Amino acid sequence: MLIVTASGAPGWLAGVLGASLTAPHLLGPLIARRLDTARDGRNVIAIACVVHGATLAAAVLLYPLTWAIVPAGLLALSGLFGPFLTGGISSRLPAIAGVDRVSQRRAQGWDVATYGLGGTLGPSVVAAIAAWSTPTAAALVLAAGTFVAAVLVRFLPPAPAAGAGADVPRPFRTLRLMLRSGRLRRTLSLTVIVAFSVATLPIVAVASTATLDTAASAAAVLTAAYGVGNLLGSAGVTIRPLRGEADALLPKLAAATALGLLAVMLSPSFWFSVAAYAAVGVANACFFAATLAARSEYSPPEARGQVFVWVGALKITAGSAGTAATGAIIGVAAALPLLGVIVAIFVASAVAVLERVRESRRRLRAGHDAG
Task: Please report which confidence band the pLDDT of residue 370 belongs to, taking 50, 70 and 90 as the band edges.
Answer: low
- Taking the C-alpha atoms of residue 103 and residue 96, their distance in angstroms, rounded to an integer, is 9
CA 93 to chain centre: 16
pLDDT tens per residue, range 115-163: 877 777 777 777 788 778 888 888 899 899 999 999 998 888 877 666 5
pLDDT tens per residue, range 297-343: 999 888 888 999 999 889 988 988 888 888 888 877 778 999 999 99
Task: Please report which confidence band the pLDDT of residue 88 belongs to, taking 50, 70 and 90 as the band edges.
Answer: confident
- Per-residue confidence (pLDDT) for residue 343, from 0 to 100: 97
- Per-residue confidence (pLDDT) for residue 167, from 0 to 100: 74
Per-residue DSSP letters for 212-279? TT--TTHHHHHHHHHHHHHHHHHHHHHHS---S-HHHHHHHHHHHHHHHHHHHHT--SHHHHHHHHHH
When the pLDDT of each residue in the chain is averaged and rounded to a whole number, the result is 87
Q: Report whether pLDDT(232) > 90.
A: yes
Residue 217: exposed, middle, or buried by beta-carbon count in 10 A (0-12, 13-18, 19+)? exposed
Q: Report whether pLDDT(354) > 90.
A: yes
Q: Report whether pLDDT(347) > 80.
A: yes
- Per-residue confidence (pLDDT) for residue 164, from 0 to 100: 59
Task: Please report which confidence band the pLDDT of residue 345 belongs to, taking 50, 70 and 90 as the band edges.
Answer: very high
Domain residues of the chain, as ranges? 2-156+169-361
Query: In 3-state terms, what secondary structure has residue 342?
Result: helix
- Per-residue confidence (pLDDT) for residue 180, from 0 to 100: 94
Say which residues have a Cβ less than 8 Å from residue 145's Cβ, sequence separation at least 6. Answer: 53
Neighbours of 362 (CB within 10 A): 11
Say which residues have a Cβ less than 8 Å from residue 320's Cβ, sequence separation at least 6. Answer: 19, 22, 23, 199
Q: Report whether pLDDT(91) > 60.
A: yes
Contact 353, 251 (CB under 8 A): yes
- Taking the C-alpha atoms of residue 244 and residue 199, their distance in angstroms, rounded to an integer, is 28
Q: Report whether pLDDT(346) > 90.
A: yes
Query: In 3-state terms, what secondary structure has residue 9?
Result: coil
Neighbours of 179 (CB within 10 A): 12
pLDDT tens per residue, range 164-206: 566 788 889 999 999 999 999 999 999 999 999 999 998 898 8
- The letter for the amino acid at 50 is V
- Would you state the CATH architecture of domain 2-156+169-361? Up-down Bundle (1.20)
| Least confident residue range of 21-35, 256-270, 303-317 | 21-35
Name the percent of the chain lying above pLDDT 90: 44
Query: In 3-state terms, what secondary structure has residue 335?
Result: coil
- Per-residue confidence (pLDDT) for residue 69, from 0 to 100: 92
Q: Report whether pLDDT(215) > 90.
A: no
- Taking the C-alpha atoms of residue 52 and residue 153, their distance in angstroms, rounded to an integer, is 14
* Mean of pLDDT values over 231-240: 91
- Per-residue confidence (pLDDT) for residue 162, from 0 to 100: 61
- Per-residue confidence (pLDDT) for residue 5, from 0 to 100: 63
